[in-house]
């Protein structure tokens, strides 16, 4: 059984933990969930199902494999590229086929995803960039990115006409913003990787997954897994008090999350009255002017909500110091945690279900982790969800890259967007890993684990999906993923589209308009996170407001120049639709 640390140790440990906190990412990449690491196969099975088609627009525009790849006569090219996954192993049959097919090789420079921003800064400062450089681009680093792109540190992206599948990625109306944000003085300086949730307005399924089997056992499960805010937290209290997992007194915990989502996902996001969203609280347009959201009454209200949940013992006590972002997951899999707050994409749901079943195979897999729909605090029928930027990262070409190296990267990525390339990415090698009949039906030949989930023999996937997620719909049509998991996540997306009255979106004007003050002092997101965690741990319900207001007053002189410069912009958005029209008409400016 897991035993929590004694409260007296929190202050010292939190101070150490916060030093490591902002090496971590808020929603990176494509979405937040860990990849499934399955046990050894207990069965060897093949499943036949209809092949997942690419979107109609992409299929109509795509070049064939013969046009875009498969040319053994290509001259050999080698280049370097940074990679956040472990590089492919020597016996990776898919990667070896791919390298031979396109007659190229890569010197991979590994780095941890959580250190991507800091490593980027170091490599730029030491002139040590790889030839093809992957950049985890978002609002945390965009101001610096603008400077890098404008000062000759990277090369302009070559003409994309010879690579129509890449070019067509940016033709869709919803993808226009990503293209604009990477264009400077009329030059496209990097290739944004399009998010896989475009069909759902780039929604991020940030929600609570919970033990629905425990709720059923206690007679508390609601139809459609829909709860008011109070009902959900009262249910977690019942999990702790009544111990449906038979852990013994004091060994069942309510909820936890990634440290990089905390405390925002547990009440701060849900109380924001504006139409805008963010990964960490920052500047936001409200009532026709920009304000620093952590200084508003609504932020304080959300912070108090999280503080109350923490003090009531509903949030795992060691949430504040789990910098590895692993221990809370292990508690859930072991049956000691009632819920997790997460970006509930397919990979995450599959992992949570599989890992929990490894501990107790007698459980009902479809009930051990279920996405709940929880109303916003103080409401019964209003629900929160937000979208993210149209892209999740970008690829740039450093000054060390030759024309031949850039061409080979673009040539191979263009092929990745063909139907043949998509099949390679999702299913592996035809004949070895899958077969396809004349009607396009796929039979996957991978082994399965005891839960019926396919065991992917290829842990390395990075290069195949460098400019976009694997199949355009965040894994929802990839038949190697567990069908029940795919259906469950798809239903959650569709439920949100039908029931979330106002999907919050990013204020591109504020986030991506380069400002001297923001470039100089940043957006204070790390300061806010550190202080929020500190006051949750070290104040009482009666003193948290005073402590927060005192800190806001202390930091206000540093924040005010950014507010002043934002409010001097010629356009301050009130309506998201109007804002998008403004940006697409060229009003963003860079």
Quote the percentage of the chain above a pLDDT of 70: 85
Q: Which residues contact 529 (CB under 8 A, 6 or more apart)?
A: 21, 22, 280
Q: State pLDDT tens for residues 560-573.
A: 999 999 999 999 99
Give mean pLDDT, residues 95-118: 91
Q: State pLDDT tens for residues 151-185.
A: 889 999 999 999 999 988 877 666 667 777 788 88
How high is the pLDDT of residue 131? 98
Residue 67, pLDDT above cutoff 70: no
Q: State pLDDT tens for residues 111-140.
A: 887 788 889 999 999 999 999 999 887 666
DSSP 140: T
User: Which of 483, 227, 491, 478 minimizes the C-alpha distance to 376?
Assistant: 227
Q: State pLDDT tens for residues 181-217.
A: 788 888 999 998 887 777 788 888 889 999 999 999 9
Grade residue 256 by pLDDT with cuts at 50, 70 and 90: very high
What are phi and psi for residue 337, nearest 5 degrees? -125, 140
User: Which of 244, 69, 94 minimizes the C-alpha distance to 165?
Assistant: 69
Residue 387, pLDDT above cutoff 60: yes
How high is the pLDDT of residue 33? 33
How high is the pLDDT of residue 77? 97
Q: Which residues contact 200 (CB under 8 A, 6 or more apart)?
A: 493, 496, 497
How high is the pLDDT of residue 471? 43
Helix (H) or strand (E) holding 169: helix 164-169
Tokens coding 211: 């033990």
How high is the pLDDT of residue 278? 80
Give mean pLDDT, residues 299-317: 97
How high is the pLDDT of residue 297? 97
Helix (H) or strand (E) holding 283: strand 283-286
What are phi and psi for residue 135, nearest 5 degrees? -125, 125
How high is the pLDDT of residue 8? 35
Quote the percentage of the chain above a pLDDT of 90: 58
Q: State pLDDT tens for residues 401-445.
A: 999 999 999 999 999 989 899 899 989 999 999 999 999 999 999
How high is the pLDDT of residue 469? 56
User: Which of 460, 582, 492, 526 minimizes the C-alpha distance to 226?
Assistant: 492
Q: State pLDDT tens for residues 452-488.
A: 788 999 989 889 888 875 444 456 878 888 889 999 9
Give mean pLDDT, residues 500-524: 84
Grade residue 581 by pLDDT with cuts at 50, 70 and 90: confident
Helix (H) or strand (E) holding 346: helix 346-359
Grade residue 272 by pLDDT with cuts at 50, 70 and 90: very high
Please name the residue that has the structure tokens 């609002």. 139
Q: Which residue has the higher pLDDT, 95 or 589?
A: 95
How high is the pLDDT of residue 20? 40
Q: Is pTM, for the whole model, over 0.85?
A: no
Tokens coding 422: 């998509």
CA distance 374 to 492: 12
CA distance 110 to 94: 20
User: Which of 371, 379, 326, 322 minimizes the C-alpha distance to 346?
Assistant: 371
Grade residue 451 by pLDDT with cuts at 50, 70 and 90: confident
How high is the pLDDT of residue 71? 55
Residue 589, pLDDT above cutoff 80: no
CA distance 284 to 589: 19
User: Which of 279, 449, 443, 427 minimizes the C-alpha distance to 350?
Assistant: 449
Give mean pLDDT, residues 576-587: 83
Pairing between β-strand 386-387 and β-strand 203-204 as defined by DSSP bridges: antiparallel
Q: State pLDDT tens for residues 526-555.
A: 899 999 999 999 999 999 999 999 999 999
Q: State pLDDT tens for residues 345-359.
A: 888 999 999 999 999
How high is the pLDDT of residue 474? 55
Q: Which residue has the higher pLDDT, 402 or 391?
A: 402
Residue 91, pLDDT above cutoff 90: yes
What are phi and psi for residue 205, nearest 5 degrees? -80, 65
Which of the residue ranges 11-20, 50-59, 313-322 would you say has the lowest mean pLDDT? 50-59
């Amino acid at each position: 059984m897991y035993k929590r640390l004694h409260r007296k140790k929190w202050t010292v440990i939190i101070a150490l933990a916060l030093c490591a906190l902002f090496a971590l990412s808020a929603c990176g990449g494509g979405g937040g969930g860990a990849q499934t690491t399955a046990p050894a196969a207990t069965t060897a099975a093949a499943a036949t199902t209809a092949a997942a088609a690419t979107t109609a627009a992409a299929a109509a525009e795509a070049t064939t494999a013969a046009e875009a790849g498969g040319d053994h006569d290509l001259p050999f090219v080698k280049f370097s590229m940074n990679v956040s996954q472990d590089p492919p192993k020597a016996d990776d049959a898919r990667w070896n086929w791919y390298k031979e097919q396109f007659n190229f090789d890569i010197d991979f420079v590994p780095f941890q995803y959580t250190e991507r921003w800091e490593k980027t800064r170091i490599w730029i400062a030491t002139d040590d960039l790889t030839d093809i450089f992957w950049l985890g681009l978002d609002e945390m680093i965009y101001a610096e990115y603008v400077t890098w792109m404008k000062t000759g540190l990277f090369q302009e992206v070559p003409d994309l006409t010879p690579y129509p599948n890449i070019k067509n990625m940016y033709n869709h109306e919803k993808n226009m913003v990503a293209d604009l944000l990477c264009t400077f003085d009329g030059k496209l300086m990097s290739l944004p990787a399009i998010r896989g949730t475009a069909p759902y307005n780039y929604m991020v399924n940030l929600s609570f997954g919970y033990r629905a089997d425990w709720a059923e056992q206690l007679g508390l499960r609601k139809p459609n897994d829909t709860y008011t805010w109070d009902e959900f937290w009262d249910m977690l209290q019942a999990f702790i008090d009544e111990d449906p997992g038979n852990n013994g007194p004091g060994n069942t915990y309510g909820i936890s999350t990634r440290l990089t989502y905390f405390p925002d996902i547990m009440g701060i996001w849900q109380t924001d009255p504006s139409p805008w969203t963010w990964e960490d609280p920052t500047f936001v347009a409200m009532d026709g002017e920009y304000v620093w959201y952590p200084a508003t009454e609504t932020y304080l209200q959300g912070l108090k909500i999280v503080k109350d949940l923490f003090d009531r013992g509903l949030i795992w006590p060691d949430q504040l110091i789990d910098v590895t972002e692993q221990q809370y997951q292990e508690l859930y899999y072991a049956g000691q945690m009632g819920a997790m707050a997460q970006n509930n994409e397919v990979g995450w749901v599959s992992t949570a279900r599989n890992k929990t079943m490894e501990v107790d195979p007698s459980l009902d897999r479809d009930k051990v982790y279920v996405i709940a729909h929880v109303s916003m605090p103080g409401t019964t029928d209003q629900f929160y969800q937000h979208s993210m930027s149209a892209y999740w990262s970008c690829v740039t070409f450093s000054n060390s890259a030759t024309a031949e190296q850039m061409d080979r990267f673009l040539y191979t990525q263009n092929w990745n967007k063909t139907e043949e390339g998509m099949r390679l990415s999702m299913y592996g090698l035809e004949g070895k890993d899958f077969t396809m009949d004349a009607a396009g039906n796929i039979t996957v030949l991978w082994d399965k684990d005891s839960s019926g989930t396919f065991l992917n023999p290829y842990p390395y996937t990075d290069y195949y999906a460098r400019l976009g997620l694997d199949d355009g719909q965040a894994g929802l049509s990839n038949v190697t993923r567990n069908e029940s998991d795919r259906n469950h996540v798809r239903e959650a997306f569709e439920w949100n589209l039908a029931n979330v009255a106002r999907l919050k979106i990013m204020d591109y004007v504020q986030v991506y308009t380069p400002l001297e003050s923001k470039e100089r002092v940043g957006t204070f997101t790390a300061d806010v996170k550190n202080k929020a965690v500190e006051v949750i741990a070290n104040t009482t319900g009666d003193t948290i407001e005073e402590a927060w207001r005192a800190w806001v007053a202390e930091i206000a002189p540093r924040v005010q120049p950014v507010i002043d410069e934002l409010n001097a912009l010629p356009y301050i958005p009130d309506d998201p639709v109007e804002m998008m029209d403004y940006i697409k008409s060229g009003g963003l400016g860079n």
